[in-house]
Amino acid sequence: MLTLQEVVQSIDHTLLNPVATEQDFRNLCREAKELGFKAVCVLPCYVPFCAEQLQDSAVVVATVIGFPLGANSSKVKAVEARQAFLDGAVEVDMVIKMGALKDHKLNDVYEDIRQVVDVARSFAERKLVKVIIETGLLTDEEKRWACEMAVKAGADFVKTSTGFNGGGATVEDVRLMAAVVGKEAQVKASGGIRTWEQAEKLLQAGASRLGTSSGEKIVKQYQALYTIEGVNKEL
């Protein structure tokens, strides 16, 4: 049973287009404030700008690390994360070393995540780490390994996809990931989420956060279905 408040607080309003302009990010932040989204997820170079735009609101800034391939060294990812937090981000979404996972080098995957988590934990104010495992490129067994390494390293979330490397969020993947992490972490569904119908199914499957550039559309669809004369109904 999701209220409108719960729906909007599940959304990371996302803009990761490499040719997005400052005005695009200004509009993103305005929409996030007006609709009450949990976060904006933006390119690292726009973290300071978005943090300034959102300083008078409860919306937090998230950014991406090692994006979109996960191929940066772990040290570089740690540096990226530290700079992002210093610039005003509260959450980072990092891409794992997918090649290491394919090679069954699980300790390398663990260390990659741990270094970013250690940076997050070094700040007095709580910072969150979401681990993008890129489900569309993995077998179910590999998805389980990735989730296990994320939990072992202390990550706060596991996340389905970047949206840049094929595939996207599916109910089946969210269920699998939620089953693996249990209460040790949360699940963020991301990639191709464009309607309330999709969002609802993913939230029901176990996601607690949704990464989408269609947040405004999703909220309007929810309101059209479940709001009568301006009064929000519970599902």
Kindly list the structural domains of the chain, giving each domain's residue range(s) and its CATH number in brackets, ordered by start. 4-232 (3.20.20.70)
Indicate if 103 belongs to the active site: no
pLDDT for the residue 229: 47
pLDDT one-digit tens code per residue, 76-107: 999 999 999 999 999 999 999 999 999 999 99
pTM: 0.95
**Is there a catalytic annotation at residue 93?**
yes
Catalytic residue among 12, 93, 156, 173: 93
**Predicted confidence (pLDDT) per residue in 19-41, tens digit:** 999 999 999 999 999 999 999 99
From the list 77, 130, 143, 188, the catalytic residue is: 188
* Residue 201 known to be catalytic: no
Which of 38, 97, 159, 173 is an active site residue? 159
Q: Please give the full DSSP string across the chain, using - where no structure is assigned.
A: ---HHHHHTTEEEEE--TT--HHHHHHHHHHHHHHT-SEEEE-GGGHHHHHHHTTTSSPEEEEEESTTT--S-HHHHHHHHHHHHHHT-SEEEEEP-HHHHHTT-HHHHHHHHHHHHHHHHTSSS--EEEEE--GGGS-HHHHHHHHHHHHHHT-SEEE---SSSS----HHHHHHHHHHHTTSSEEEEESS--SHHHHHHHHHHT-SEEEES-HHHHHHHHHHHHEETTEEPP-
